[in-house]
């Protein structure tokens, strides 16, 4: 501790070994030691005592659509990373689509990195994209530092990012397995979707019927079969259908390298309460019934679902029409994800340690970010300071993302983020931000 520049002290520090009173020593942006609460502060070091507020590792959100450049009017790096910082997220990994260009070649990755460089309030990494016809680009992207590759098995919603059929999926997986990369997959089966009733209009029940659980289950079964065939590592994005949980559990027990994530909106909102015409609740796959939600929580508790990420996917407000068939599908959750998940987790008897495991430790592990995701010596000094018992009512005007559309408006949530720290620097406190100092991250070779 003698070389510490900063000591953060709290009666409740969440470490991999549990929650305890501690003093966390920081030097050069790195945690150097986790010491007893009453450890002596060395001369020259600054003490930051947050009292009984909880000190938790900065969250790692591996599923964010920043849309910059190209659809910057939907969202951009400046606004998305401020929303992240306000919500206690210190690292985000950007999805390869909805920006123009999409992140499907090394040249496109360079463009995105240039755009993000001076705007990032938090650390930012990038997923690449697997499209029909870009198999040759996958290894160069991997070597350029993307964390893995996203593919769709059904139409993505934007023309420049077409989905893979099963043959194309096999070709991509064979290539990715050859360099032991990771494929992350939007798993809905296009034939199953096409066969579902496509009523359109403002009724949520009709929208839900148009994206049935079976479309997810079918696609996930096919993906597992392909992962098994190639020995490839795959990750199921934004799992909504609880019917697919046994498939995932069995495959994993059988040695298939498959992980899964779900999202705050599937865990905290239910189909039964979505008002008709309220397309701020539209996402694909959709928010399902309360009974489905109970099973997703059970799967988080038993480890079948590994982690929770936002799938923050905004658009301009005019694209959120009251017709569920044509409205943009995507929920903006960056700033509220921690509070939303914590509010429901505590109601269900889970602890903050569980939330940290799902939203920081496991997401860091998914992306191989071995300096993130825990408060322990050798990791980046990324923290959120949280008042877990304080409540607030969601006011869209207080949100930092570009288009202040939210499915959480008017809800009262537990958990107020008091400040956020990135590599030992306070980047946000009570809604005031410092200049952006986020770094661009690349995969650890």
Based on CB atoms, which residue is closest to Zn ion, 293 or 310?
310
Q: Which is nearer to Zn ion, 306 or 311 (CB)?
A: 311
Identify which of residues 169 and 386 has a Cβ nearer to Zn ion in the complex.
169
Site string for Zn ion, 254-293 (x = CB under 5 A): ----------------------------------------
Of 213-221, 243-251, 305-313, 374-382: span binding Zn ion (CB under 5 A): 305-313
Of 62 and 268, nearer to Zn ion (C-beta) is 62
Cβ at position 7, least distance to Zn ion in Å: 39
Give the separation between CA 346 and CA 272, rounded to whole angstroms: 22
Q: Rounded to the nearest whole angstrom, what is the least distance from the CB of residue 210 to Zn ion in the complex?
A: 18
Q: Helix, strand, or coil here: 353?
A: helix
Instruction: Kindly indicate which of the ranges 114-122, 142-150, 225-233, 308-316 contains the residues binding Zn ion, using the contact rule CB under 5 A.
Output: 308-316
Number of residues that bind Zn ion (CB under 5 A): 1
Question: Measured from the CB atom, is 61 or 311 closer to Zn ion?
Answer: 311
CA 161-164-91 angle, 5° bins = 55
CB of residue 8 to Zn ion, shortest distance in Å:
33
- Using the minimum distance from each CB to Zn ion, give the nearer residue, 9 or 265: 265
Which SS3 state, helix, strand or coil, does residue 410 take?
Answer: coil
Window of 197-205, 287-295, 307-315, 332-340 that interacts with Zn ion by CB under 5 A? 307-315
| Site for Zn ion contains 311 (CB under 5 A) | yes
Report the first-to-last Cα separation within the chain, whole angstroms: 30
Q: Which stretch binds Zn ion (CB under 5 A): 8-16, 111-119, 309-317, 391-399?
A: 309-317
Q: How far is the CB of 61 from Zn ion (least distance, A)?
A: 11
Work out whether 137 is an interface residue with Zn ion (CB under 5 A). Answer: no
- Select from 172, 299, 273 the least CA-distant residue to 230: 172
Nearer to Zn ion, 284 or 394 (CB): 284
Q: Near Zn ion by CB under 5 A, which window of 73-81, 107-115, 282-290, 306-314?
A: 306-314
Backbone angles phi, psi at 286, to 5 degrees: -85, 165
Max Cα distance, the chain (Å): 70
* Per-residue DSSP letter, 440: B
Q: 314 or 373, CB closer to Zn ion? A: 314
**3-class DSSP state of 92:** strand
Closest CA to 430 of 387, 375, 377: 387
- Cβ 231 to Zn ion, closest distance in Å? 26
**Short-list 217, 222, 129, 220, CA closest to 176:** 129
Q: How far is the CB of 63 from Zn ion (least distance, A)?
A: 6
How far is Cα 53 from Cα 11, in angstroms, rounded to an integer? 7
The residue among 142 and 265 lying less far from Zn ion, judged by its C-beta, is 265
Contacts with 243 (C-beta within 8 Å, 6 or more apart), sequence order: 213, 214, 216, 217
- In this structure, the dihedral spanned by the alpha carbons of residues 101, 148, 81 and 262, taken in order and rounded to 10 degrees, is 120
CB of 316 to Zn ion, least distance (A): 17
Q: Are 173 and 226 within 8 A, CB to CB?
A: yes
Least distance CB 320 / Zn ion (angstroms): 16
Least Å from the CB of residue 186 to Zn ion: 7
Name the residue nearer to Zn ion (CB basis): 311 or 382: 311
Least Å distance between CB 397 and Zn ion?
25
Minimum distance, C-beta of residue 65 to Zn ion, in the bound complex (Å)? 6
Exposed (0-12), middle (13-18) or buried (19+): which is 72, by Cβ within 10 Å? middle
How many Cα atoms occupy the beta-carbon half-sphere of 11 within 13 Å?
A: 4
In the complex with Zn ion, which residue's Cβ is closer, 309 or 375?
309
What b-and-e string marks burial along 167-177, b requiring 16 or more CB atoms within 10 Å of the CB? Answer: ebbeebbebbb
Tell me how far apart the alpha carbons of residues 140 and 146 are, in angstroms, rounded to a whole number: 9
Residue of this chain nearest to Zn ion (CB atom): 311
Rg, C-alpha atoms of the chain: 21
Give the CA count within 13 Å in the CB-facing half-sphere of 310. Answer: 33
Residue numbers at the binding site for Zn ion (CB under 5 A) = 311
């Amino acid at each position: 501790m003698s070389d510490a520049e900063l000591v953060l002290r709290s009666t409740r520090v969440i470490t991999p070994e549990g929650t305890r009173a501690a003093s966390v020593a920081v030097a050069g942006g790195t945690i150097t030691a986790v010491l007893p609460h009453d450890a002596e502060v060395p001369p020259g070091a600054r003490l930051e005592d947050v009292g009984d507020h909880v000190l938790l590792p900065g969250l790692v959100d591996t599923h964010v659509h920043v849309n910059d450049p190209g659809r910057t009017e939907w969202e951009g790096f400046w606004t998305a990373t401020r929303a992240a910082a306000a919500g206690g997220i210190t690292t985000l990994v950007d999805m390869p689509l909805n920006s123009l260009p999409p992140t499907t070649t090394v040249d496109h990755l360079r463009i995105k990195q240039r755009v993000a460089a001076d705007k990032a309030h938090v650390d930012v990494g990038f997923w690449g994209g697997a499209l029909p016809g870009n198999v040759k680009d996958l290894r160069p992207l991997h070597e350029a530092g993307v964390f893995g590759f996203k593919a769709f098995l059904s139409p993505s919603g934007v023309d420049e990012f077409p989905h893979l059929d099963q043959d194309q999926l096999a070709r991509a997986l064979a290539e990715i397995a050859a360099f032991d990369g990771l494929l992350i997959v939007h798993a809905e089966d296009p034939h199953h979707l096409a066969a579902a009733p496509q009523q359109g209009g403002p009724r949520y029940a009709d929208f839900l019927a148009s994206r049935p659980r079976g479309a997810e289950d079918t696609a996930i079964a096919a993906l597992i079969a392909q992962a098994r065939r190639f020995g490839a590592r795959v990750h199921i994005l934004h799992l909504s259908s609880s019917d697919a949980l046994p498939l995932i559990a069995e495959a994993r027990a059988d040695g298939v390298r498959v992980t899964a994530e779900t999202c705050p909106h599937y865990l905290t909102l239910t189909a039964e309460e979505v008002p008709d015409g309220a397309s701020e609740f539209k996402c694909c796959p959709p928010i399902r019934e309360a009974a489905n939600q109970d099973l997703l929580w059970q799967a988080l508790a038993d480890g079948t679902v590994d982690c929770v990420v936002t799938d923050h996917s905004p658009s301009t407000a005019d694209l959120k029409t009251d017709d569920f068939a044509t409205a943009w599908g995507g929920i903006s959750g960056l700033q509220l994800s921690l509070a939303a998940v914590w509010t429901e987790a505590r109601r269900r008897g889970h602890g903050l340690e569980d939330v940290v495991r799902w939203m920081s430790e496991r997401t860091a592990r998914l992306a191989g970010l071995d300096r993130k995701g825990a408060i322990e010596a050798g990791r980046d000094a990324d923290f959120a300071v949280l008042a877990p018992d304080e409540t607030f009512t969601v006011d869209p005007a207080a949100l930092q993302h570009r288009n202040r559309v939210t499915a959480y408006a008017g809800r009262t949530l537990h958990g107020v983020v008091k400040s956020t720290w990135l590599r030992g620097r306070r980047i946000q406190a009570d809604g005031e931000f410092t200049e952006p100092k986020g770094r661009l991250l690349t995969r650890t070779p």
